[in-house]
Chains A and B, each alone.
Chain A
């Protein structure tokens, strides 16, 4: 079955450590996204990528970094510079780029990161 795989489902880290969240898709989608979800705040866009080897900052990119070396993969690194890293992180992909952008997003099941 096609879909998006995020791993691990739960992740625990000590403050000051960098951590990388995995996101893999086999939908052959061009665009991939990382969102952060906090209670009562909805989803906020961290980074997105429309094509391999290219990505753009979203609304809350500070303290995060990404890479897009392969079409299928879009890992997110939460660095020690991120002040409040504990959150639920969601990866998504969509088929369409171009002028219309009417393709819906497909989401993974998320990674819950806890930093203490």
Chain B
């Protein structure tokens, strides 16, 4: 069965500093991987996704994530964060052929001015 672990529940980072949000998954088959972002009192928005091909995927607002099959990880990174990046970030996994998407428990990113 698929599962997702986000090790850090909260990550405080100074503005313009780099950040890495960690995500590890468990699955016995091929997977699709997603990062979603949630701003206060809103639904989730897709940030980026890995389906196949290049293991490094990027979003339009400077985030990137790298699929590492050997380490079963899909960590999210940004080289320089902004106040507007303050949000909760969720990693999600879906086994190939499985209609269910499993979410991690989320990481709350707080940007310190």
By a CB distance below 8 angstroms, the chain B residues around A48 are 99-100
The reply to whether A100 and B103 contact each other, CB–CB distance below 8 Å, is: no
By a CB distance below 8 angstroms, the chain A residues around B98 are 101
The reply to whether B106 and A105 contact each other, CB–CB distance below 8 Å, is: no
Contact size range, B: 20 to 34
- Smallest Cβ distance from B95 to chain A, in angstroms? 8
By a CB distance below 8 angstroms, the chain A residues around B106 are 40, 42
From B51, B96, B99, B105, name the one whose CB has the most chain A CB atoms within 10 angstroms.
B99
Chain B, Cβ-Cβ closest to A91: B43
Known contacts: A42-B90, A43-B103. The answer to whether A101 contacts B44 by CB under 8 A is no
The reply to whether A107 and B96 contact each other, CB–CB distance below 8 Å, is: no
- Smallest Cβ distance from B84 to chain A, in angstroms? 18
The B-contacting residues of A in range 28-54, CB under 8 angstroms, are 31, 33, 35, 40-45, 48, 50
Return the contact of A108 from the options B32, B41, B43 (Cβ within 8 A).
B43
The B-contacting residues of A in range 3-20, CB under 8 angstroms, are 4, 6
A85 at the interface (CB under 8 A from B): no
Q: Is the interface of A mostly helix, strand, loop or mixed?
A: strand
Return the contact of A42 from the options B34, B41, B103 (Cβ within 8 A).
B103
A2 at the interface (CB under 8 A from B): no
A10 to B41, CA, bound (A): 10
By a CB distance below 8 angstroms, the chain A residues around B43 are 4, 6, 90, 92, 107-110
The reply to whether B44 and A107 contact each other, CB–CB distance below 8 Å, is: yes
A97 at the interface (CB under 8 A from B): yes
From B43, B44, B46, name the one whose CB has the most chain A CB atoms within 10 angstroms.
B43
Q: Beyond A35-B103, A101-B97: 12 further Cβ-contacts under 8 Å?
A: A40-B106, A43-B90, A45-B101, A48-B100, A92-B43, A99-B97, A101-B32, A104-B34, A105-B101, A106-B46, A107-B43, A107-B44
